[in-house]
Every structure is written in structure tokens, then in C-alpha cells.
């Protein structure tokens, strides 16, 4: 016990490094590491003193989410969310607590590790796809939707990486960017591909990436994807034959619209899709189990209270992020940090229009990780202004 007490801070940092490396490599390992971080956090004496506006707004969202469980007409289904989403609810507070204690350099290290592991994960997905193990690029521990959404966040972190790792050769940065972008494309999620291209376009406009490296990334990605599709084109051919296919979201969203006037305040309860969706006979894919839109899911499951409280939390985070981006515009490294974190949040929010992260056991934790990292640095900057 003396050893743990003596080296506690170092142990927790190593746990965060391991957590950052485990997000998509092993969900079981991620949960074990996250559980260890939460145990350390639970025994912190000053954990409640660290609560701030971000934390309190998230408390309100969690409170309405829990209320929607106990007001649900399908309590037996909804109550499972109390343990299935608990990692998302609790981890945000642990992340905020420890990230507030970390200096900027430690956050840089975690971002760098995130990018390196994303590159490795991308290679795994590309190999899986190229050797016809899967029809859409993914890892062994996640589906293609989780895979491509995770890589969107990695792509934004990559922009911070290339701006601050001056000792890394340009060719190495191009290789890493190529792997990440290629894996997103090979996952064949049209919305995530579009968001990735928007991220890179914004990076070019805001001078977070130069035109020549970006051109090289696009050229190398085109060659790599051409080779991969030459080996595995089954899913691509289906997309080409039906380019306007809407993945049956029109049926899902129309059904949600028809339910808009029922259980308006607190919703039908979390994880009740299979009970309230009544048009399954119209679907080609009978295995669909979600609304494929987080905002619709939040409204149907937790009502206006759940949706609005979530949007207020996000809105406050974005507002403070923009203010800090503006106030730190003379510090290139900090300005890039706030720009990248804001873009990563926006990428998650745009992606949520077509899939979702709130109920996803991996993406929800990754989102909490990103939001807490941004929120903790915002608070640290405010404290640095207040303290003489």
C-alpha cells in the first residue's frame, strides 16, 4: 500500500496511457483499465471540490437520463442502461478530475499516443479489409461504424500532432495521415468520409496543415485504397449499384417522427428501440437495433429533458472552447489545441446525426475523454488568469 501511495500519480498517468492505447484494440482491456482509474478516483478526498460548471451540467443530463429509466413503460429494458452506460457517466468526472491536475505537456503526450495507436489500429483495419476478412474495414474488437467514428477523432488529434511534433519527418507524418484517412474510407461510411474531408478542408483553411503534405496524403490514400479495393470490392460494388441508398434511415426517422408527441418530457426510456419501433417489416436489415441518430435517440428515449440538457452541456463546452481559442490566439500551440479539440467535438456531433456515441460502450468513453480534456484545460486557463 505504501508503494501505491508513493507512486499513485505515476501509476494513474500510466493507466491513462494504457487507456488511450486500448480504446479500439480491446474493449475488455479498456474497461479493466477504466475501472482501475475509477477506483483511484473514488478514493480521492477532494474529488467533489473539483466539480465545476461542466461537471454540474453533465450531472443534470445524467439525472434526466436516470429519471427516464424509472418513468419508462418498459422499465425491465431501460434499467439495464444503469450499468451499460455507467462507464460513460462516471468516467467523465474521473477524466475531468485528473486532467485538471495534468500540465499541458502530459495532455500532449496522451494526444500523441492516441495518434500513434490510431495509426496501428488503422493498419489492422486495412489488413482485415484487404485480406477479405471483413467487407468493411474494422478491428477485431469493434464494428466498422465504431471504427470509422473513432478514427474521425484520431484525425483531428493528428492535426495537433503534425503541428507540434517538429522532430518527426514530414514523410512519417504523411504515412500516419495516409493510414488513418485510408482506414476511414475503407470502412465505407459515407457520412464519416464526408466529415473527414471537411476536417481536412478546415485544417487547410485554418493553416493547420500545408497544401503539399495534404496533397501527398490524398495521393497515397488514393493508391492504398485502390489496391485494397482491387482485393476486396464486394461492398463497394453494392454501393456503386445503389449510390442513393439511405441505409433505411428514412424509415427509422419517419417512425421516430410519428412518435414525437408521445412521452414528450422523459421519453420511452433508454434501450427501448425494439419495443417502440413498429415498422420492422419495412426494413431490409432486420438486425437494426437503434435509431442511427443520437439526437433522435435522446429525444425518444429521454424526452425533451434529456435532449435539451445534453445540448446545453455541449453548447456550454463549445462556447467556452471558442472563447479560449480566441484568448489564446497569440500562443500557437494552445490555439491549435483548442482548435483541434473543438473540431473533434464537432466531428462527434456531426457523426451523431448518422450513427451515435451515447450508447456505444467505446465511443461514449472516447467522447467523455475528449470533452474532459477540453473542459479541464479551459478551467486551468481560467484559474491561471484568476490566480496572481
DSSP letters, 78-147, are HTTHHHHSHHHHHHHHHHHHHHHHS-HHHHHHHHHHHHHHHHHHHHHHHHHHHTTS-SS---SSS-HHHH
pLDDT tens over the chain, length 388 residues? 566 667 788 999 999 999 999 998 888 899 999 999 999 999 888 877 667 888 899 999 999 999 999 999 999 989 988 888 888 888 999 999 999 989 999 999 999 999 999 999 999 999 999 999 999 999 887 888 899 999 999 999 999 999 888 888 999 999 999 999 999 999 998 899 999 999 999 999 999 999 999 999 999 999 999 999 999 988 777 666 655 455 677 788 888 888 888 899 999 999 898 888 887 777 766 667 778 889 999 999 999 999 999 999 999 999 999 999 999 888 889 999 999 999 999 999 999 998 888 888 899 999 999 999 999 998 765 555 433 3
Residues of the domain holding 114? 2-386
Q: Rounded CA gap, 230 and 130, in Å?
A: 8
Q: Rounded CA gap, 275 and 204, in Å?
A: 46
pLDDT the model gives residue 22: 92
Q: How many angstroms separate the Cα of 357 from the Cα of each of 3, 191, 293? A: 38, 14, 9
Q: Rounded CA gap, 36 and 72, in Å?
A: 32
Output the pTM of the full model: 0.91
Total structural domains within the chain: 1
pLDDT the model gives residue 285: 62
pLDDT the model gives residue 50: 67
pLDDT the model gives residue 273: 87
pLDDT the model gives residue 1: 58
pLDDT the model gives residue 240: 61
CB 91 within 8 A of CB 34: yes
pLDDT the model gives residue 388: 32
Amino acid at each position: 500500500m505504501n508503494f501505491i501511495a508513493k507512486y499513485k500519480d505515476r501509476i494513474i498517468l500510466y493507466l491513462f496511457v494504457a487507456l488511450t492505447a486500448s480504446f479500439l484494440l480491446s474493449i475488455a482491456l479498456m474497461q479493466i483499465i477504466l475501472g482501475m482509474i475509477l477506483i483511484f478516483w473514488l478514493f480521492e478526498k477532494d474529488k467533489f471540490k473539483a466539480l465545476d460548471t461542466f461537471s454540474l451540467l453533465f450531472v443534470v443530463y445524467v439525472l434526466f437520463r436516470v429519471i427516464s429509466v424509472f418513468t419508462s413503460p418498459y422499465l425491465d429494458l431501460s434499467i439495464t442502461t444503469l450499468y451499460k452506460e455507467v462507464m460513460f457517466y462516471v468516467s467523465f468526472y474521473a477524466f475531468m478530475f485528473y486532467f485538471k491536475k495534468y500540465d499541458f505537456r502530459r495532455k500532449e503526450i496522451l494526444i500523441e499516443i492516441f495518434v500513434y495507436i490510431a495509426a496501428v489500429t488503422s493498419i489492422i483495419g486495412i489488413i482485415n479489409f484487404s485480406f477479405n476478412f471483413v467487407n468493411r474495414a474494422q478491428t477485431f474488437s469493434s464494428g466498422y461504424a465504431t471504427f470509422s467514428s473513432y478514427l474521425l477523432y484520431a484525425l483531428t488529434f493528428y492535426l495537433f500532432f503534425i503541428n507540434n511534433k517538429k522532430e518527426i519527418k514530414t514523410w512519417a507524418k504523411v504515412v500516419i495521415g495516409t493510414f488513418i484517412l485510408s482506414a476511414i474510407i475503407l470502412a465505407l461510411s459515407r457520412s464519416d468520409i464526408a466529415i473527414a474531408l471537411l476536417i481536412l478542408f478546415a485544417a487547410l483553411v485554418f493553416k493547420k496543415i500545408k497544401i503539399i503534405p495534404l496533397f501527398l496524403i490524398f495521393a497515397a490514400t488514393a493508391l492504398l485504397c485502390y489496391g485494397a479495393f482491387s482485393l476486396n470490392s464486394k461492398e463497394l460494388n453494392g454501393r456503386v449499384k445503389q449510390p442513393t441508398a439511405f441505409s433505411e434511415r428514412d424509415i427509422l426517422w419517419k417512425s421516430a417522427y410519428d412518435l414525437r408527441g408521445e412521452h414528450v418530457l422523459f421519453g420511452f426510456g433508454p434501450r427501448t428501440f425494439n419495443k417502440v419501433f413498429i415498422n420492422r417489416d419495412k426494413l431490409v436489415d432486420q438486425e437494426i437495433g437503434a435509431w442511427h441518430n443520437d439526437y433522435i435517440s435522446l429525444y425518444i428515449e429521454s424526452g425533451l429533458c434529456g435532449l435539451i440538457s445534453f445540448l446545453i452541456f455541449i453548447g456550454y463546452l463549445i462556447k467556452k472552447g471558442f472563447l479560449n481559442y480566441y484568448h489564446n490566439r497569440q500562443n500557437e500551440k494552445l490555439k491549435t489545441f483548442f482548435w483541434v479539440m473543438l473540431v473533434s467535438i464537432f466531428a462527434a456531433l456531426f457523426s451523431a446525426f448518422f450513427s451515435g456515441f451515447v450508447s456505444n460502450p467505446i465511443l461514449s468513453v472516447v467522447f467523455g475523454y475528449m470533452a474532459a480534456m477540453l473542459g479541464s484545460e479551459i478551467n486551468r486557463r481560467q484559474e491561471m488568469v484568476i490566480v496572481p
